[in-house]
């Protein structure tokens, strides 16, 4: 009788589109890194200028790195949202079937797995900060890192997260990958998540960026400070101060 041989699973390939790029040096003896993950592609995406300005006074001896991934442009996503809002009946269903938000959400999940691989390979404790779909990347990375015997993530911060907030088993698993705390920062004035995210998900998923997530998550309501989906990074210094990361 022939024995069936099983090959070992191939390691997840790391695309040049998924890289951790240094963008602010720290002290030579720093044993920690901050990794930021954007939610949209912008003209300044590679340099992460808006993030660096917001983090200019944050842990100045700690290196800041930027994770690149296959996102969509903010213009493309917003234009899709406007077209979806004006569509009716069957036309709306057609637009939903080919929408860039859905593609970006799937890309974010895969990117998070690749981020987790690189965090393990670099072997340095990190703080993860992700905005919008970038928060989805971070959440996916935490799920992938949860099986590791050593926690590589000191803290994780989700800003206006485009990730469902109601599945307790997943949130508990994600939090288990964090040595410190998993912070969910939300605002009920985030109209992109309130309308576009829920349309794309047919109302079956409530985003963490709009309200409290379940599980051992530390939730923070920033409705008094953040007045829109694109206002998180501009308000990042105050956000980090309020949640106790300095």
The pLDDT tens digits for 91-147 are 444 444 456 677 778 889 999 999 999 999 999 999 999 999 999 999 999 999 998
Q: Domains in the chain and their CATH numbers?
A: 31-243 (3.40.50)
Percent of all residues in the chain with a pLDDT value above 70, rounded to a whole number? 75
Taking only the tens place, the pLDDT of each residue in 41-58 is 544 444 588 899 999 999
Contacts of 32 (CB under 8 A, 6+ apart): 62, 124, 125, 126, 127, 154
Half-sphere exposure in the Cβ direction for 68 (13 Å, CA): 16
What string of DSSP letters covers 40-60? SB-TTTTTTHHHHHHTTTS-T
Q: What is the pLDDT of residues 21-41, one digit of tens each?
A: 999 998 877 789 999 999 865
Its pTM surpasses 0.85: no
Tally of CB atoms within 10 A around 147? 10
The residue ranges of DSSP E strands in 55-104, in sequence order, are: 64-68
Mean predicted confidence (pLDDT) in 193-197: 78
Bridging pattern class, strands 153-159 and 182-186: parallel
Q: Which of 156, 139, 142, 162 is nearest to 209 (CA)?
A: 162
């Amino acid at each position: 009788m022939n024995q069936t041989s099983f090959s070992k699973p191939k390691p997840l390939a790391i695309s040049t589109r998924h890289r951790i790029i240094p963008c602010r040096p720290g002290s030579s003896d720093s044993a920690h890194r901050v990794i930021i993950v954007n939610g949209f592609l912008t003209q300044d995406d590679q340099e992460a200028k808006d993030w660096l300005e917001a983090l200019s006074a944050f842990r100045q001896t700690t290196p800041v790195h930027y994770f690149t991934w296959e996102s969509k442009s903010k213009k493309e996503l917003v234009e899709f949202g406007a077209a979806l809002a004006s569509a009716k009946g069957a036309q709306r269903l057609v637009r939903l079937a080919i929408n860039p938000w859905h593609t970006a959400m799937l890309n974010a999940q895969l990117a998070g797995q690749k981020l987790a691989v690189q965090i393990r390979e670099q072997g340095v404790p990190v703080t993860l900060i992700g905005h919008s779909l970038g928060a989805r990347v971070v959440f996916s990375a935490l799920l992938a890192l949860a099986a590791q015997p050593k926690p590589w993530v000191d803290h994780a911060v989700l800003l206006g997260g485009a990730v469902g907030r109601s599945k307790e088993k997943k949130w508990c698993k994600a939090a288990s990958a964090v040595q410190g705390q998993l912070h969910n920062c939300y605002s009920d004035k985030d109209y992109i998540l309130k309308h576009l995210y829920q349309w794309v998900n047919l109302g079956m998923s409530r985003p963490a960026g709009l309200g409290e997530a379940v599980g051992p998550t530390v939730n923070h309501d920033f409705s008094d400070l953040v007045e829109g989906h694109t206002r998180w990074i501009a308000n990042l210094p105050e956000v980090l101060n309020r949640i106790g990361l300095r």
